[in-house]
Amino acid sequence: MIYSYIRPVNRDQNFYEAFEKHVPKGAVNYCFDIWKEDPFNFYITKERNTKLGDFRYRRDKKVQTITINHNLNPYQFLITYVHEVAHYRAFTKFGLSIKPHGLEWKKYFQELMEPLLDVSIFPRDVLIPLKRHMMNPKASSGADFFLMVELRKFDRSEKSDELQYLQQVKKGTQFEIQGRLFEKLETRRTRVLCLEVNSGKKYLISSHAEVKIKN
């Protein structure tokens, strides 16, 4: 089922059933328990191109809110959920004086992920880069190329089979992203200089962006 709206999960049974559907079986109880320890509003949303999940701290709200995209594969959903819970706990304790992905968030994220870093939860091919990623977690798992490649193998979407990471595309190749046609020019560290074919303008695009090759 694809949700065309935001579905609130605000009862224990519904919350638990949501995890049964969206995260690996071995992580269901854990995800439910860390919510019960310090409850928050939880919404499963339609797909968003700019984010996998979201937490926004509102000082004027007694109960905070976390949202996760409905279409994530179980392993990406789990990582994203724990990522956002870490935001929630860090901002609840320290308020708005901290950086979103600063040391406080990293500490909570590492602590919350530690019980999950096991082959009973993640496939070994995901677990190896995930453990490495968690030594110094980035703002997004998408910023870790090797982890992202392994996670993508479990995506449910048929369109994922048509996409490649820009980092893997050969120089001079034309590709499409967000309905616009580009040509890959050169890689500059974590970004790629690209030429928009129609306008002649040059743009820097993340090397981790998923693109569709034009034949």
Predicted structure pTM score = 0.78
Q: Are residues 60 and 130 in the same domain?
A: yes
Asked if the structure places residue 2 within a domain, the reply is no
Q: What is the CATH number of the domain that holds 202?
A: 2.30.30.30
Would residue 21 count as lying in a domain? Answer: yes
Q: Is residue 61 part of a domain?
A: yes
List, as one string, the DSSP characters of 133-170: HHTS--S-GGG-HHHHHHHHTT---GGGGGEEEGGGSP
Please check whether residues 199 and 99 belong to one and the same domain. no
Same domain, 128 and 144: yes
Tokens 């695009």 label which residue? Answer: 205
Asked whether residue 181 is assigned to any structural domain, the reply reads yes
Expressed in percent and rounded to 5, the helix, strand and coil fractions of the chain are 45, 20, 35
Give dist(CA 2, CA 14) in Å, integer: 17
What pLDDT tens digit does each residue of the chain (215 aa) get?
334 344 555 578 888 999 999 999 999 999 999 999 999 999 999 988 778 899 988 878 888 999 999 999 999 999 999 999 999 999 999 988 899 999 999 999 999 999 999 999 999 999 999 999 999 998 877 778 889 889 988 987 655 567 888 888 999 999 999 889 999 999 987 789 999 999 999 999 988 788 899 87
**Amino acid present at 192:** V
pLDDT tens by residue, 123-143: 999 999 999 999 999 887 777
The greatest distance separating any two alpha carbons of the chain, rounded to the nearest whole angstrom, comes to 55
Percent of the chain with pLDDT over 70: 92
Based on the fold, state whether residues 204 and 181 are members of the same structural domain. yes
Q: Looking at the structure, tell me whether residues 29 and 120 fall in a common domain.
A: yes
Which residue, 121, 138, 156, sits at the end of a domain?
A: 156
Residue ranges making up the domain that contains 38:
7-156
Q: Measured between alpha carbons, how far is 190 from 208 in angstroms, rounded to an integer?
A: 8
pLDDT of residue 62: 82
State the pairing for strand pair 65-69/53-56. antiparallel
Q: Does residue 166 lie within any of the structural domains?
A: yes
Same domain? For 44 and 25 the reply is yes
Count the domains in the chain: 2
pLDDT score at 6: 44
What are 190-204's pLDDT values in tens digits?
789 999 999 999 999
Which pLDDT score is estimated for 123? 97
Residues 25 and 102 reside in one and the same domain? yes
- CA dihedral angle for residue 164, residue 190, residue 83, residue 124, rounded to 10 degrees: 60
